[in-house]
Chains A and B, each alone.
Chain A
Amino acid sequence: QKEVEQDPGPLSVPEGAIVSLNCTYSNSAFQYFMWYRQYSRKGPELLMYTYSSGNKEDGRFTAQVDKSSKYISLFIRDSQPSDSATYLCAMSGREYGNKLVFGAGTILRVKS
């Protein structure tokens, strides 16, 4: 079983839809949770990070962490064609040092 599970998609939605991207994990030692966006032929770009359980909002993006269920989500409101990219969840914790454990990435396509 992988430490971090993420559905690779692709997920295809119409413009303006609310998108929900999710990851589950197995190790309760994870404390820091991140979402990266990667456009084709580019490096990953940090979108959101959260510490422990709770929600964090930044514009159209909301990151949610439920440590009791070992489940994290990224919501994108009013999705735009420019949101089409691969979204990678990543997490870390004290026992991992400064290393990140990545999910497989979900391909998102927003159709105009």
Chain B
Amino acid sequence: SAVISQKPSRDICQRGTSLTIQCQVDSQVTMMFWYRQQPGQSLTLIATANQGSEATYESGFVIDKFPISRPNLTFSTLTVSNMSPEDSSIYLCSVDPGGATDTQYFGPGTRLTVL
């Protein structure tokens, strides 16, 4: 398994501003993922972030709105840009440590409220 931390754990932001969420892993991993979980909903994949390449975004998510950095094998950031109240959600990062299965391990999440 992997131990994952996220910063901040929560934030309240004003409409039109941007927030950068950090994800730190205690071991080197190739694949990291960013998810959104809206209240009472399941997880929706935003993008896959592999070190050394551009992030791959899922349908409905664009780089201008959710720019991602992946500078090394233990760290990634997700920025939520030009926020609106509809961006209020929990943002989760996860990692796939590799191996024969596709299991992922999740961070504790960042709870974002946009006013």
Contact = CB atoms under 8 A, between A and B. Distances in A.
Given A49-B101, A98-B31, A100-B102, A42 B108 contact: yes
A46 B101 contact: no
Given A43-B92, A98-B48, A99-B48, A88 B43 contact: yes
Interface string A28-60: 000010101000011111100101000000000
Given A46-B103, A92-B102, A41 B111 contact: yes
B45 interface: yes
A45 B94 CA distance: 11
Interface string A77-112: 000000000001000100011111011110000000
Contact of A32 (B43, B103, B105, B106): B103
Nearest to B10: A41
Most A CB within 10 A of own CB, among B42, B92, B105, B109: B42
Given A42-B109, A51-B101, A102-B43, 8 more contacts: A32-B101, A34-B103, A43-B109, A46-B104, A49-B103, A88-B42, A99-B48, A104-B42
Given A42-B108, A43-B109, A88-B43, A98 B102 contact: yes
Contacts of B27: none
B96 interface: yes
A100 B95 CA distance: 11
Interface residues of B, number: 22
Q: DSSP majority for the B interface?
A: loop
Contact of A46 (B33, B42, B100, B105): B105
A92 B35 CA distance: 16
B41 interface: yes
B1 interface: yes
Contacts of B33: 99
Given A32-B103, A41-B111, A49-B101, A105 B96 contact: no
